[in-house]
Structure 1
Amino acid sequence: MGALAWLLIPLFAAVGAALWGRWAARQRTAGDGEELAGYARFREAMEKANAGSDAL
């Protein structure tokens, strides 16, 4: 019975590693589009702020 327990430990580790690898390699639905849009809004806001300070 002890030998069976020692054989199950690597089996569970392999199954856990396979599940983690599958989760880590999953295709993420969120792309860079939302982040790029936020960055574009940030740049526009900074350009507007600079335009206002140049007039002073």
Structure 2
Amino acid sequence: MGALVWLLIPLLAAIGAGVWGSWATRTRRVRGDGPELDGYARFRAAMEKPHSRT
């Protein structure tokens, strides 16, 4: 019975590796560059504003 327990350890590790591998290579939804470009446009607008010193 103890030998079966030791044989289950590599089997469970292989199943866990398969689950992790399928999760890691899943197809992800592509966002595009829209949010990144919007943030960059806000950054440029802020940098182009004249600064007032008091």
| TM-score normalised by structure 2 residue count | 0.72
How far the C-alpha of 1:41 sits from its partner, in A, is 1.7
What amino acid does structure 2 have at the position aligned with 1:37? G
Letter in 1 for 2:6: W
Identify the residue that residue 41 of structure 1 maps to in structure 2.
38
| RMSD between aligned residues | 1.8
Q: Percent identity?
A: 44
Q: Structure 2: state its 5+ residue gaps.
A: none
The structure in which a higher percent of residues are helix is: 1
Q: Structure 1-normalised TM-score?
A: 0.70
Which deviations, in whole Å up to 9, do the C-alpha atoms of 1:8-54 show, x marking residues without a partner? 1100110011001100110111x141xx212222232233330x428
Q: Which runs of 5+ in 1 are unaligned?
A: none
Partner residue, 1:53: 50
